[in-house]
């Protein structure tokens, strides 16, 4: 590191010498880092956020923006392995593993596959439901109390089925949600078509989750940054942290341009990149990137009233006052940065089977993002044993928007010694042994 600093321009080198000293450094300015920073700053901690690129510019940007306790069922479900094997050779399949030499990915997939049994599936619902439902309440409070302009609405979420057998199977598999206070309504095809006139005829049935909500992710992260700053947080973009090291009682984070930051405590919220970041500390995080795609349009004339998932096509449809988005797909292919045409086309094709107006009049953006996936579908939250002052808020997988508010609150509770808003044990890094 000293060699790196000596190569820096004079002003940066001077800055590096005058090392910044903060109370808490948050590395990563996605929805999770910003939610943590805001909650910590509001609790009186001195926070500095360091973001490599633009705030909310990675996975937190082009996602579907749904806030869904309804998604408390884990991804590792009975029958999932068979389905995934069947999809392996279909380039437009909704769940795809691209065969490649990647020992970490294969170890991850084996652990994931081992969880696809009924008992583990049911047991895994509670901690996911707790985080999602708590987040729903906290986020609604924040939007209301701080007047966040982010297109937030809480008018439910609909799973649409065109296949009767798939519908009845889903009715059964969603029963356990009720035990966790998540309301599930069953609509027949006629009711679904009446409730959602944007749907083409031929709906076999739908599940309606009235407690779900949605927002426009890009606007939400911008608003989180605004209130975090109002609450006293310092936020810097364009700062890539390349090394972390223990420094006396605290931590030092060293940036690619040689700048050095020191803080009493360090909170990593760097999404799918966290696993690489902590390797130098001798830590292994079971997080792999799960790539998803979206296409954003101007709003068509007829849009669904609530966000939908077209289940057989695995396409999520979200409409806001200022836009319309198709999203989804899960691809395990490492950090492959190609925008694959087959995956994007599958979104539009899937939407066309079910919606009168599957696309908007103007296409604004084709996008992909890497979800930070753990094999047990839960994020890793809390302290790192043996590394005093190091905290993690990573691995939110498919639910980072919907879990962000509770994550910020829980980390703040733990870092300030308050009673935790929910039991933190299920999310601890120690569960991986």
Ligand X SMILES: Cc1cc2nc3c(=O)[nH]c(=O)nc-3n(C[C@H](O)[C@H](O)[C@H](O)COP(=O)(O)OP(=O)(O)OC[C@H]3O[C@@H](n4cnc5c(N)ncnc54)[C@H](O)[C@@H]3O)c2cc1C
143 binds ligand X (CB under 6 A): no
Name, in order, each residue with C-beta under 8 angstroms of 410's C-beta and a sequence gap of 6 or more: 131, 381, 382, 420, 421, 422, 424, 427
Structure tokens belonging to residue 282: 């001798």
Shortest distance (Å) from residue 45 CB to ligand X: 19
Q: Which residue has tokens 């919606």?
A: 355
Closer to ligand X by Cβ: residue 168 or 234: 234
Shortest distance (Å) from residue 407 CB to ligand X: 9
Closer to ligand X by Cβ: residue 45 or 407: 407
Name, in order, each residue with C-beta under 8 angstroms of 256's C-beta and a sequence gap of 6 or more: 240, 241, 242
Closer to ligand X by Cβ: residue 16 or 204: 16
Report the distance separating Cα 277 and Cα 66, nearest Å.
28
Shortest distance (Å) from residue 317 CB to ligand X: 11
Q: Which position among 15, 36, 40, 51 is part of the footprint of ligand X (CB under 6 A)?
A: 51
SS3 417: coil
The H or E element spanning position 118 is: helix 118-123
Shortest distance (Å) from residue 374 CB to ligand X: 11
Task: Name the segment binding ligand X (CB under 6 A); options: 95-103, 191-199, 267-275, 334-342.
Answer: 267-275
396 binds ligand X (CB under 6 A): yes
CA 168 to mean position of chain CA atoms: 29
Q: Rounded to a whole number, what is the distance in angstroms from the first to the last CA of the chain? A: 32
Shortest distance (Å) from residue 59 CB to ligand X: 4
Q: Which position among 69, 369, 389, 408 is part of the footprint of ligand X (CB under 6 A)?
A: 369
One character per residue 284-323, x = contact with ligand X (rule: CB under 6 A) = --------xxx-----------------------------
Q: Which position among 36, 40, 60, 138 is part of the footprint of ligand X (CB under 6 A)?
A: 60
Shortest distance (Å) from residue 29 CB to ligand X: 5
Instruction: Return contacts of 412-419, CB within 8 angstroms, 24+ apart.
Output: 412/36, 412/39, 412/40, 412/42, 412/43, 412/45, 414/382, 414/383, 415/24, 415/40, 415/45, 415/265, 415/267, 415/391, 416/40, 416/43, 416/44, 416/45, 418/43
User: Which residue in 32, 132, 123 sits closest to 76, CA to CA?
Assistant: 123
- On whether the CB atoms of residues 72 and 209 are closer than 8 A, the answer is no
- Phi first, then psi, for residue 378 (nearest 5°) are -125, 145
Shortest distance (Å) from residue 119 CB to ligand X: 26
Structure tokens belonging to residue 433: 């042994």
31 binds ligand X (CB under 6 A): yes
64 binds ligand X (CB under 6 A): yes
One character per residue 401-430, x = contact with ligand X (rule: CB under 6 A) = xx----------------------------
Q: Which position among 53, 141, 144, 155 is part of the footprint of ligand X (CB under 6 A)?
A: 53
Q: Which position among 52, 216, 252, 387 is part of the footprint of ligand X (CB under 6 A)?
A: 52
Binding residues for ligand X, rule: CB under 6 A, are 27-33, 50-53, 57-60, 63-66, 240-241, 269-271, 273, 277, 292-294, 327-328, 369, 371-372, 396-402
């Amino acid at each position: 590191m000293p060699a790196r600093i000596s190569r820096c321009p004079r002003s940066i080198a001077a800055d590096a010498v005058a090392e910044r000293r903060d109370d808490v450094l948050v590395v990563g300015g996605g929805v999770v880092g910003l939610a943590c920073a805001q909650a910590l700053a509001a609790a009186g901690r001195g926070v500095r956020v360091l973001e490599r690129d633009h705030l909310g510019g990675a996975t937190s940007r082009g996602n579907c923006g749904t806030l869904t306790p309804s998604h408390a069922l884990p991804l590792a479900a009975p029958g999932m392995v068979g389905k995934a094997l069947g999809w392996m050779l279909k380039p437009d399949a909704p769940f795809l593993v691209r065969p490649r030499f990647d020992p970490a990915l294969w170890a991850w997939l084996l652990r994931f596959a081992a969880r696809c049994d009924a008992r583990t599936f049911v047991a895994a619902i509670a901690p996911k439901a707790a985080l999602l439902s708590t987040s729903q309440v906290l986020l609604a409070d924040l939007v209301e109390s701080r007047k966040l302009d982010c297109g937030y609405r809480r008018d439910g979420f609909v799973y649409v089925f065109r296949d009767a057998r798939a519908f009845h199977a889903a009715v059964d598999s969603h029963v356990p949600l009720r035990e966790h206070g998540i309301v599930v309504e069953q609509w027949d095809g006629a009711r679904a078509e009446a409730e959602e006139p944007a749907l083409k005829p031929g709906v076999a049935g739908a599940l309606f989750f009235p407690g779900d909500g949605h927002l426009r992710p890009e606007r939400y992260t911008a608003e989180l940054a605004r209130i975090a700053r109002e609450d006293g947080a310092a936020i810097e973009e364009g700062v890539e942290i390349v090394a972390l090291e223990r420094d006396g009682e605290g931590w030092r984070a060293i940036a690619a341009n040689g700048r050095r930051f020191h803080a009493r405590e360090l909170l990593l919220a760097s999404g799918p990149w966290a696993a690489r970041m902590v390797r130098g500390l001798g830590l292994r995080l079971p997080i792999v990137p799960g790539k998803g795609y979206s296409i954003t349009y101007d709003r068509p004339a007829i849009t669904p009233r609530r966000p939908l998932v077209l289940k057989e096509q695995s396409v999520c449809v979200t409409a806001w006052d200022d836009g319309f988005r198709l999203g989804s797909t899960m691809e395990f292919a490492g950090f492959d940065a190609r925008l694959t045409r087959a995956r994007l086309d599958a979104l539009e094709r899937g939407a066309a089977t079910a919606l009168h107006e599957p696309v908007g009049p103007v296409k604004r953006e084709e996008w992909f993002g890497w979800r930070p996936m753990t094999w047990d579908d839960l994020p890793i939250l809390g302290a790192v044993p043996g590394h005093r002052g190091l905290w993690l808020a990573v691995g939110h997988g498919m639910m980072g928007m919907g879990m962000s508010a509770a994550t910020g609150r829980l980390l703040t509770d733990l870092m300030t010694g308050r009673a935790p808003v929910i039991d933190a044990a299920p999310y601890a890094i120690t569960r991986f042994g």
